[in-house]
Structure 1
Amino acid sequence: MLVHYMYIVLVFLHIFVIFGILLLEDRNPTSTLAWLLFLIFVPVFGLFTYLLFGPTRMRFIQKKAQFAYETVSISLAKYNISTNVNQLYQNNKLPYRTYALIKLAEQADSLPACSGNTCQILLNGQKTYQAINEAIQNAKAHIHLEFYIIQPDEIGVALRDLLCEKQSQGVEVRVLYDAIGSSALTTSFWQPLLDLGGYAYPFKPAIMSFGKRNDRIDFRNHRKMVIIDGRVGFTGGINVGKEHLGLSPSYGHWRDTHIKICGPAVLCMQQTFVESWFMTTKEVLDQQRYFPTTQQRQGNAIVDIAPSGPNSRWSTIFRIYFQAIAFAEERVWITSPYFIPDATIKEVIITAALRGIDVRILLPKKSDNLFIGGATRSYYRELLRAGVKIYEYKKGYIHAKTLVIDNWMGTIGSTNMDIRSFKLNFEINAFVYQKEFVEELAQQFCYDLKEAHRINLHDYQHMRYSSRIFYSIARLFSPLL
């Protein structure tokens, strides 16, 4: 009898979720349809999955993040970290397309573009870890880290021990790590750092997120960011773990890209970290030592640091990508481990190809997720028909997240070309407006193509029929991935 009543309650709850919540949320129709199919065909599991992952509750997330931004911004306004590029445009020293993208980013995330930076492209884990370790060793005041994944392997332990060494020297150390991405970490991992007075906090612990009415477990912090003394910053696709050195048998050779920035743009990275820190700990890091105003302008690169996330009202990185591709006149070269775009990004890419733009997309041949890999390949046919050139990287696994537009803009960051990165995850990208930087990034793209196989319509049409069916099924659920 009890089972009978529980079944009735479950049925009514199921109906309530479908009609009382899902259909009244005014979500994207594609996403709504995907959830409806999931709830109908997998009713029990689908129901609990939706209750855990489905309700957007964006208003609460936006209000919470807006409060964090306002609290931090009010405290930091006195340091005047902005660099105005309006004069460059008015003096005809800045092309309209560059100026328009910078204004778009500034209006969307309120962070300014900064001139006078030097940028160094770091390829793969070894060079990136060497550069980060050297910067940490030279730290004088503080070290701030924000990572999606920190593994408790030899790479993670070496980083922690180095941080402990600097903390013992009087350098302030703060670490933010994602609770889901870094789930392999135990509570004791950071104890040596904590005992020395350092700080390490998980971003949105899963056990606290579950069941909270105003939170979502799948809003993850996917950023990879290191800031040293407010003067040197790193971001890109590389987390902390031995797989990034090609030492994982599951992946083999790991191809990735990071960027080192020196100059005023690091202050924008610092502000992004300070906001994340406040959202996690409720502590405002507003002391001037975190925002040195005597920045040396050694380079000539204009850098726009763009954070984005579920708290972003305008989905900043998504809109910059869209407008940059729409502005392209010669080439759009994309590298990403995942490719599950929404309709808007897909159409602007197809439109660029139909305009005669050289559109190339470099993806891994072997995905780290079978379902996501299938959903990615489901887009191949329509992209190929439009003239998009698709390549699959064969030499191990490519995890880089880069975009090259003509010869005037290149970006490196944590953002994948998928709905999750554009809408759900907390991400950060460095958009660099410097011809030399863009050319170097483009040259590396061409070098990577030598290790890739170009896919054509003949390849796709001769794939096994069962594989193509699987790809189509996976795509139905792409809004959920």
Structure 2
Amino acid sequence: MPILNVISPYLYYIYFLFVIVLTITILLDNKPPEVTVAWLLAIYFLPYVGAVIYLFSGVNWKKRKIVKQLPEVTFKTYLGPILEQQRHFLEAVSRKIDNDMAKTVSLVLNSSNAIITLDNQVDFFYEGGPLFERMVEDLERAEETIHLEYFIYKSDRIGQRIGEILKRKARKGVKVRVLFDGVGNFRKMSWRFKRELRESGVEVRYFLDPFNVLTGRLLNYCNHRKIVVIDGKTAYTGGMNIGDEYINGGRRFSFWRDTHIRVTGESVAMLQGVFLSDWYNSGGEKIIDERFFPEPEVVDNYLPIQVVCSGPDSDWYTLKKLYFNLIANANGEVLIQSPYFIPDESIRSALEASSLSGVDVHLIMTGVADKRVPFWVAHTYFESLLKAGVNIYFYEKGFFHPKMLVVDGDIATVGSCNMDVRSFHLDYELNMVFYGETVCKGLVEQFRKDLQECRKLTPDVYNKLSFPARLRNGVFRMIAPVL
């Protein structure tokens, strides 16, 4: 067509100028040399496609804020005096003793404004059935507010059961707010279910709605957090979304192993603050108010906890720094559970250095994959880890989905953060950090129990991997940063 013949040269020049702008942008981002080279090659040798992939996956949103207010800012705004008080205390303690716990508390406090709370009671759930039964009991007792935030909420049997409670409570005057991730929850919940929630008075919002013109370009950045806060007094967080598969394994798996937390006490206020920040960032009203932070019930149980948030536009990749700090400073044992294992160079080096220095490092990941590509890519990291003496296991009873790290039996972190680049750099995540042998003891016991359902990967077994499989794994590793 004549008009296309006229337009085509102009499109070429426009794209050429666009590539120059992208090149300058990439060079100014100061990313690691290998990352910079990879993006430049993608843009130059994959015309149009490479540029589109970079816009969705490579733009450094750390310098271009995605959301209006990060939880870290909320904490600083409303907990300023407490933050300063704790910083001064930790500085005094650090000068007197070489305390790994104090260092970890300081790292999290300084990088994400996460104060340490002391009066808390927690219950851990390792299967969905008991978790949802307890959650239903707590939801039934709600009198003022129910706040739910999930990466995935399915309108299946358990989703409908919880949904009925939400609708009934909303009709009775309880303020119910529900927040879903726009990408994670895509096609997981029926339009009818959402309509019924809204008609009952439940407020429903999406974090970075994929159908919104302004936020659709940010599809690569997901809210992976799982939070429930009831009346500002009881909260849940961890690795489980809402879906039948967490109870019975679903159609694909015979069993689903995960870890979730129920907490009462002072830490509930921190989880409430995260939810309210995410609600505001999703187009909801700014509802930071004292009525959402009632005086916590005294549980009379000394349990130090920090609530740690991280995201692509955070000032620091706090969760990655937390994992690195715990692994690098371990003295005796490192226990890791993660369904996916795609570490960046710093985490991999920390694991190798820790193992080579005599620390017992144990990693359990799923042996029954729900996503083949991340499972294949994980294998490309095993050779050097095995050589360094890291113990690697595949859980084979069913799908393995917990995200946990325990170091030396006295510091642990559990939450939504996988040990992969996506969780460290691209998604909004939330973990709780627990201090003390008492709380860690149960997590260590569960780890030992999980080992009984595992197959250990040995160097001999790894070396038998076929050439086509190694080649396939290596090819897919090139997209590891966005998996």
Whole-Å separation in 2 of the counterparts to 1:88 and 1:103:
7
Whole-Å separation in 2 of the counterparts to 1:274 and 1:83:
24
- Shift of the 158–34 alpha-carbon distance from structure 1 to 2, 3 Å rule, reads farther
The equivalent of 2:31 in structure 1 is 27
The equivalent of 1:269 in structure 2 is 271
Whole-Å separation in 2 of the counterparts to 1:314 and 1:344:
15
Q: Deviations over 1:382-435 (max 9, x none)?
A: 000000000011111101100110111111100000111111111000111121
Instruction: Give, in angstroms, the shift of residue 103 of structure 1.
Output: 1.3
TM-score by length of 2: 0.91
Q: 1:369 aligns with which of 364, 368, 371?
A: 371
AA in 2 matched with 1:308: S
Q: Is the 8 A contact 2:72 2:114 kept in 1?
A: no
* Residue pairs, 1:196-275, within 5 angstroms: 196-208=200-212, 216-275=218-277
The equivalent of 1:412 in structure 2 is 414
- Shift of the 231–52 alpha-carbon distance from structure 1 to 2, 3 Å rule, reads same
The equivalent of 1:331 in structure 2 is 333
The equivalent of 1:286 in structure 2 is 288
- Shift of the 118–415 alpha-carbon distance from structure 1 to 2, 3 Å rule, reads same
Instruction: Give, in angstroms, the shift of residue 189 of structure 1.
Output: 2.3
The equivalent of 1:153 in structure 2 is 156
Whole-Å separation in 2 of the counterparts to 1:47 and 1:110:
36
Secondary structure at the counterpart of residue 193 of structure 2:
coil
Instruction: Give, in angstroms, the shift of residue 446 of structure 1.
Output: 1.0
- Shift of the 36–369 alpha-carbon distance from structure 1 to 2, 3 Å rule, reads farther
Q: 2:169 aligns with which of 141, 153, 166?
A: 166
Whole-Å separation in 2 of the counterparts to 1:125 and 1:17:
49
Percent identity at matched positions? 30
The equivalent of 1:98 in structure 2 is 101
Q: 2:146 aligns with which of 138, 143, 147?
A: 143
CA RMSD of aligned residues (A): 2.7
- Shift of the 111–393 alpha-carbon distance from structure 1 to 2, 3 Å rule, reads same
Q: Deviations over 1:173-225 (max 9, x none)?
A: 1111101000113444222232232211010011225687xx62211100011
Instruction: Give, in angstroms, the shift of residue 267 of structure 1.
Output: 0.6
The equivalent of 1:123 in structure 2 is 126
Highest RCO, 1 vs 2 (Cα 8 Å, sep ≥ 6)? 1
AA in 1 matched with 2:270: C
Whole-Å separation in 1 of the counterparts to 2:59 and 2:450:
40
Q: Deviations over 1:154-184 (max 9, x none)?
A: 2222211111122223221111110100011
Secondary structure at the counterpart of residue 314 of structure 2:
coil
AA in 1 matched with 2:16: F
Secondary structure at the counterpart of residue 286 of structure 1:
coil
Q: 1:189 aligns with which of 171, 174, 193?
A: 193
| Greater mean alpha carbon deviation, residues 376-385 or residues 266-275 | 266-275
Instruction: Give, in angstroms, the shift of residue 252 of structure 1.
Output: 2.9
Q: Is the 8 A contact 1:364 1:397 kept in 2?
A: yes
User: Structure 2 stretches of 5 or more lacking a match?
Assistant: none
User: Structure 1 stretches of 5 or more lacking a match?
Assistant: none
* Residue pairs, 1:335-350, within 5 angstroms: 335-350=337-352
| Greater mean alpha carbon deviation, residues 142-151 or residues 200-209 | 200-209
Whole-Å separation in 1 of the counterparts to 2:90 and 2:75:
28
| Greater mean alpha carbon deviation, residues 372-381 or residues 184-193 | 184-193
AA in 2 matched with 1:390: I
The count of aligned residue pairs is 477
AA in 2 matched with 1:207: F
Instruction: Give, in angstroms, the shift of residue 24 of structure 1.
Output: 3.5
The equivalent of 1:108 in structure 2 is 111
AA in 2 matched with 1:204: L
- Shift of the 363–426 alpha-carbon distance from structure 1 to 2, 3 Å rule, reads same
TM-score by length of 1: 0.92
Instruction: Give, in angstroms, the shift of residue 69 of structure 1.
Output: 5.5
Instruction: Give, in angstroms, the shift of residue 314 of structure 1.
Output: 1.1
Instruction: Give, in angstroms, the shift of residue 25 of structure 1.
Output: 2.7
- Shift of the 47–210 alpha-carbon distance from structure 1 to 2, 3 Å rule, reads farther
